Amino acid sequence: MKQNYFEDVAEGQEIPALRKGPLTTVHLMRWSATMENWHKIHYDEKFTVEHDKLPGLLVNGSFKQQFVMQYLKDFAGLEGWAWKAKFQFRAMDVVGTTLDVWARVKRRIPAEGFGLVEVDLGIRNLEGRESTPGMGLIALPLRGGPKIPYPFVPPSTDPWKGTRE
Amino acid sequence: MPRLDDQIRSFIGLETEVRLTADAVERGAVRRYAQAIMDVDPIYMDPPAGSRYSKPVAPPLFPNAMLRLPFGDPDLVTQRAEDPHFDGAVGSSTMGLPPLPLVGSPLLNGGTEVEMYRFAEHGEQVWLQSRYLDIYEKESSKGVMLMVVIETDFLDKDRKLIMRFRKTQIRR
């Protein structure tokens, strides 16, 4: 896996998307079983439509957030650290959809011994509809710089302090 | 349509004890989890030599799925098998907090905030503590919704933070 360094990242830069899907009932059932969470709106279509009045079986928010964290982890690489993320589930994705996790660099924030990269992020379906807008904050190493501490030690100034999605 | 009445408001600030999860981070559970999310990163089974991971680790949000039904505890799935309003949401939906007294009120996942400090390691035990951080009303095109914010700290044996996770549930 390629290691990204703080110096290599520019504001406005698009990060290559991560595609997941098509997400079938089998994917949703496997995820529900993994979580041991038996919420019917992910596998019981009759209950979902007739009782909860939803359009169809829903791709779990808990499932979609795994994709976001994988994406940020992979962008951070083995030497960086995906410190924070926040996002809202504003639109439903129904079974059968294919999703792209995307991000764009919003700010580069120098910190002590590393750099923080703030990104806008989201999850779009193949029609381009955004369902999960949010932000991420990733620590990237400096070229030739010290190792980012692990477990992660946050910088003295938190760019998101006092904010909440 | 649920409203923020005094009974619901009384849940704000309610907090669980610090509790040990039902199981440690099991290799097989990590394998199933990684396969389910379709992220087969080598750090989950065999981290590269010389990397910061001296032991295999679990995917980032794995601790959030560790609130399993302890062996021998009452089984809601069976107890409510004939309840037509039972939506199947158990355990991790409320993170061990007492459920809000809302009958037939659909629950949707509204959003997430997460702070990561490290990944849980294979074999490690994890503790957690949850609280109702906030409950508030929000207008939507379909009427008033209740927004329920649950914050959970995932802790190691020294009570150091592995991850802090906030989820916002929508009750309609």
A134-141/B127-140 β-pairing: unpaired
Which residues neighbour A123 within 8 Å (Cβ) at sequence distance 6 or greater? A64, A67, A68, A93, A99, A100, A101, A102, A130, A131, A132
pLDDT of residue B94: 82
pLDDT tens across A84-121, in order?
999 999 999 999 999 999 999 999 999 999 999 999 99
The count of domains in chain B is: 1
The answer to whether domain A6-141 has CATH 3.10.129.10 is yes
Min mean pLDDT across A24-33, A155-164, B10-19, B93-102 is at A155-164
Token duo for residue B104: 């037939």
A70 → closest Cβ in B37, B64, B92: B37
Query: What is the 8-class DSSP label of residue A25?
Result: H
Is B32 a residue whose pLDDT tops 70? Answer: yes
pLDDT of residue A164: 46
Q: pLDDT above 70 covers what percent of chain B?
A: 99
Q: How would DSSP label each residue in B125-138?
A: --EEEEEEEEEEEE
Residue entry with tokens 């065999």: B46
- Give the residue numbers spanning the domain of B113: 6-171
What is the distance between the alpha carbons of residues A95 and A28, in angstroms, rounded to a whole number? 8
Domain ranges within chain A, ordered by starting residue: 6-141
pLDDT of residue B92: 60
Q: How would DSSP label each residue in B20-62?
A: E-SS---HHHHHHHHHHHT---GGGTSPPTTSS-SS-B--TTG
Q: Mean pLDDT score of chain B, rounded to an integer? A: 93
| B90: nearest CA partner in chain A | A37
pLDDT of residue B4: 87
Report the predicted TM-score, pTM, of the whole model to 2 decimal places. 0.93
Check: CB of residue A132 under 8 Å from CB of residue A64: yes
pLDDT of residue A147: 97
pLDDT of residue A165: 44
Q: Mean pLDDT score of chain A, rounded to an integer? A: 95
pLDDT of residue A162: 64
In a domain, B1, yes or no: no
pLDDT of residue A163: 53
For range B88-97, the mean pLDDT: 78
**pLDDT band at B122; cut points 50, 70, 90:** very high
For range A123-149, the mean pLDDT: 97
Q: From residue B62, how far is each of A24, A47, B26, B120 by CA, in Å?
A: 22, 28, 11, 8
Domain of residue B54, CATH code: 3.10.129.10
For residues B49, A153, A66, B172, the Cα torsion angle rounded to the nearest 10 degrees is: 170
B32 → closest Cβ in A34, A52, A60: A34
| B117: nearest CA partner in chain A | A152
Is B91 a residue whose pLDDT tops 90? Answer: no
A34 → closest Cβ in B65, B116, B168: B65
Interface test with A, best of B54, B67, B115 (most A CBs within 10 A): B115
The residues in A 78-137 lying below 8 A from B, measured between CB atoms, are 78-79, 81-89, 134
What is the distance between the alpha carbons of residues A68 and B165, in angstroms, rounded to a whole number? 14
What is the distance between the alpha carbons of residues B74 and B79, in angstroms, rounded to a whole number? 8
**Cis amide prior to A22 (ω within 30 degrees):** yes
- Report the Cα–Cα distance between both ends of chain A, in Å, rounded: 31
Q: Answer yes or no: do B91 and A36 touch at CB < 8 A.
A: yes
In a domain, B96, yes or no: yes
Token duo for residue A77: 């690489």
